[in-house]
Chain A
Amino acid sequence: MGQYILGRLYQTVLVLFGVSAVVFLLLHISGDPAVLLLPQDATKEAIEQFRHAHGFDQPLYVQFYRFLSGAVRGDLGNSLKFNQPALALVLDRFPATLELALAALVISIVTGIPLGIISAMKRNSPVDTSAMVLSMLGQSVPAFWLGIMMILLLSVKWQIFPPFGRGGISHLILPAISLSTWSAARVARLTRSGMIDVLGQEYIRTARAKGLANLVVVQRHALKNAILPIITVLGLDLGGFLGGAVITETIFAWPGVGQLAMQSIYSRDYPVVQATVLLVATGYVLINLLVDVAYAYLNPRIRFG
């Protein structure tokens, strides 16, 4: 197991190198930060001065080498816009994004899994149909639409939740629901299909024949076997929440990494975009590693050589 984890960590370094190279190249061919960060009436002299001061007048390979040699020392450069270390800016926003992502994950788990189990157990009943219609809606409704509608109804009209910002739990509920809806719906559908598959197996019939309580059969025998693909999906979703909460964070004015990334992409703030992508990619790869390790724990048949 230890050797497996070490191997995966080595792969992580390679993945991060690849991600850095791709992001660096894409950013540098997508636009010039000087024209976006300087005032409109900036003179040619001012634009050249800016490019020289930030090294943008150097060949691309020199800029990439400088970026990499800084990155291995943990220095991802200073933000062009904020004039602060890029990594510190991103890390400063990371707790907010992590809080939102974990809240969304919890909502996905506590709504999606029970809904899927109940649907599977009451297959083809009105409960099953309603649950599946609900999950279909959850997967179809765009997050931005749901977010705005929740603000209009639950904040503006009924004034139950604050419409934006980060604060106590009341601030967290609407953005977390908005972010988790798609994932919760997918988890519900996956749980349902997995449980239907497992509940039809011989050993479940045997367990029932032994006289075990329905709850014990479901919890101990069925769910444990049906849950592996759900864990994979939840792991991927958590990675997605960390990197892909841009829309939700923007709608709810949530001060996380996604909002910073969006602002930085628009202004071609290379160091901040690079730091964001590297951090999110690292999180994504590590979460996947944890999911794989969790497999071994949950299913003794899986062993890593």
Chain B
Amino acid sequence: MEQGTQDQRSLNELLRAGLSRREFLQHCGRLGLSLPAAAVLLSAGTRAGAAAQQTTALAVGLTYDVTTLDATMQYDAQTINVYGNIYDTLLRKVWANGEFTIEPHLAESITTIDDTTWELKLRSGVKFHNGDEFTGEDVRFTVQRVLDPAVASPQFSNISGYDHVEVVDPYTIRIITKQPFPLVPITLCNLRIVPAKYFEQNGAEHVAANPVGTGPYRFVEWVRGDHLTLEANQGYWNGAPGISSVVFRIIPEDATRIAALQTANADLILAVPPINAPALEATPDLTVAKTLIERISWIELQALPDSGRPTAKREVRQAIAYALDRDALIEGLLLGNGEKVATMLTPKHLGYSPDIPGYEFDLDKAKGLLSEAGYPDGVELEFMVGTGGQSKEYAEAIAGQLAKAGITARINLVESAVLLAGWQKHDFGDMILGTWTSNTFDADGTLYPLFHSDTVWSNYSNPEMDRLLDEARSTLDTAAREQLYKQALQILHDDMPGVPLWEQMALYGLSKRLQWQPRPDQELFLVEASLSG
């Protein structure tokens, strides 16, 4: 007993030193080391004694390199983390108590002229970092660039409902949509405005490495794969930021990123694995900041009737939903860093309905439904899983739970590109372990691509669902949209083409000298942060 306590203490010290429990045990096993012997070999590594960098510079540990600083050409999280500080948007989300309101930013107001015309009054006197004045021409240029088929912008689908932008005068623009498009305000929170004149004078390739925005930070240097430096824009129209400079360091390996925080080489690191969070929290100068985010984990099921798969039967899909003990999965796999969801939407989504009950863990019901489906002796399903992150462990735990209900899920572990290709071709077997975010906080961003029969991702075909989703995306009446989505969620609950699992949580490691609150939209606005000491 006493030995066990010592082992646990030593192990905790090791974890504090930045190695995950699982990794550590794997490594010990490979070397044939006993836990106590290995723990003696290594003792605690802490930030204590590290030469704290007494500076107003902030160091941020990213998980992979930024791809381009042309804000119209990329949409991956790490890149947005950086260029989100260089460029501004016309509107922005302001969060309070886990909910957001959309507020003016570069635009001073937004009004609808008719169902397909939105008029925005722009802020005057705003300058880009190179001195150019921000006007409606920059908005028109940005939108047209994203919509241009020759540019092939990854952001095209975000604003594909836009038709074009009209510049009424330098500080008034109109966005004309192809049909009523209720997502205009939220998409304007994500669309960064690039300078038209600078772009035309220098070309896209130059801009991609030498960005110029109106944002709180201006670009200084980018050493690819190593670091990227920004400095405060002292003339920022919304007040100069408190932190004078920021260095984003590219540190792909989890253990190294944690070591960077422990050795004061970073003040903020992204993507802390849940297993490392307690050890970081136990370190005196460090803390872990968490927030639930829009990303949902769920199991996509092959529900197309002509697929011939067992999951084409509704009862099998419902049996899967009943057979899963989500609380145990969240506790065991995520160490509590997630929130059970009853539907594919979170409370932060427009269209969320708390009235949908969801499926509570019930093995008897699961077995009964399997019998009804014609599988009284159990059923064998093919479960395609991508190799990224901890998907394999998650899939194994899910398969273990399903087995208790008589469902044998054969895991087919494939590289993520293979999984996505199989998904798009509807050729993945019965189940896929998926995660989804649209960053719109609107039901349309999740339900339309996943469950409308006319999209590449959907493995579900229901004319009533198509009608509800089409109608909801083509009216500007919010109350009507919420009613339509409530009906859609009820159908999804009954038909169960996808089993919602949990709402994910983002974990950040922080030096205590940094004051910053993580946002549910995962934006890293450093103008909202401050440093002490």
Contact = CB atoms under 8 A, between A and B. Distances in A.
Binding between chains A and B: yes
A36 B74 CA distance: 12
Contacts of B49: 159
Interface residues of A, number: 58
B455 A253 contact: no
A50 interface: yes
Contact of B449 (A36, A40, A84): A40
Given A30-B418, A164-B256, A47 B227 contact: no
B421 A32 contact: yes
Given A43-B157, A164-B259, A82 B208 contact: yes
A47 B155 CA distance: 11
A151 B152 contact: no
A43 B158 CA distance: 9
Contacts of B154: 37-39, 42, 50
B249 A145 contact: no
A79 B117 CA distance: 37
A206 interface: no
B395 interface: no
A157 B157 contact: no
A-side interface mostly? helix
B-side interface mostly? loop
B495 to A, nearest CB: 21
Contact of A162 (B226, B263, B457): B263
Interface string B441-464: 000010011000011110000000
B225 A164 contact: no
A148 interface: yes
A252 interface: yes
Given A83-B204, A145-B27, 12 more contacts: A39-B158, A42-B456, A43-B449, A53-B152, A142-B30, A152-B14, A153-B45, A157-B17, A159-B263, A163-B256, A259-B65, A263-B64
Given A39-B75, A253-B249, A151 B256 contact: yes
Contacts of B27: 145, 148-149
Given A40-B437, A41-B157, A156-B263, A255 B224 contact: yes
B252 interface: yes
Contact of B42 (A44, A46, A153): A153
Closest 7 CB pairs of A and B: A31-B417, A255-B225, A156-B45, A53-B152, A255-B226, A35-B420, A163-B259
B149 A49 contact: yes
Contacts of B421: 31-32, 35
Interface of A: 30-32, 35-47, 49-50, 52-54, 81-84, 89, 92-93, 96, 141-142, 145, 148-149, 151-153, 155-157, 159, 162-166, 250-253, 255-256, 259-260, 262-263, 266, 268
Nearest to A41: B449
Q: Which of B43, B51, B160 has the most CB of A within 10 A?
A: B160
A145 B30 contact: yes
B100 interface: no
Nearest to A252: B256
Nearest to A81: B67
Contact of B226 (A32, A42, A152, A166): A166
Given A39-B155, A253-B253, A83 B449 contact: no
B1 interface: no
B271 to A, nearest CB: 14
Contacts of A49: 149, 152, 156
A253 B252 contact: yes
A225 to B, nearest CB: 38
B438 interface: yes
A49 B148 CA distance: 10
B262 A253 contact: no
A57 to B, nearest CB: 12
Interface in B207-233: 208-209, 223-227
A195 B420 CA distance: 55
B415 interface: yes
Q: Which of A42, A47, A162 has the most CB of B within 10 A?
A: A42
B225 A84 contact: no
A46 B160 contact: yes
22 contacts: A35-B420, A39-B438, A42-B456, A44-B454, A49-B149, A49-B156, A53-B149, A148-B23, A151-B255, A152-B14, A153-B42, A155-B259, A155-B263, A157-B44, A163-B260, A163-B265, A165-B265, A166-B226, A251-B255, A260-B65, A260-B225, A263-B64
B160 A151 contact: no
B417 A156 contact: no
A260 B154 CA distance: 20
B479 interface: no
Contacts of A84: 68, 205, 208-209
A152 B149 contact: no
B420 A31 contact: yes
Contacts of A81: 67-68, 74
B428 to A, nearest CB: 13
B485 to A, nearest CB: 16
Nearest to A269: B67
A262 B226 CA distance: 15
B424 interface: yes
Nearest to A40: B436
Contact of A40 (B23, B64, B205, B438): B438
A253 B251 contact: yes
A32 B445 CA distance: 23
A152 B420 contact: no
B150 A46 contact: no
A83 B208 contact: yes
Contact of B68 (A54, A82, A155, A268): A82
A81 B249 CA distance: 19
A156 B445 contact: no
A93 B50 CA distance: 30
A43 B154 CA distance: 11
B70 interface: yes
A45 B256 contact: no
A265 to B, nearest CB: 9
B263 A163 contact: yes
A266 B416 contact: yes
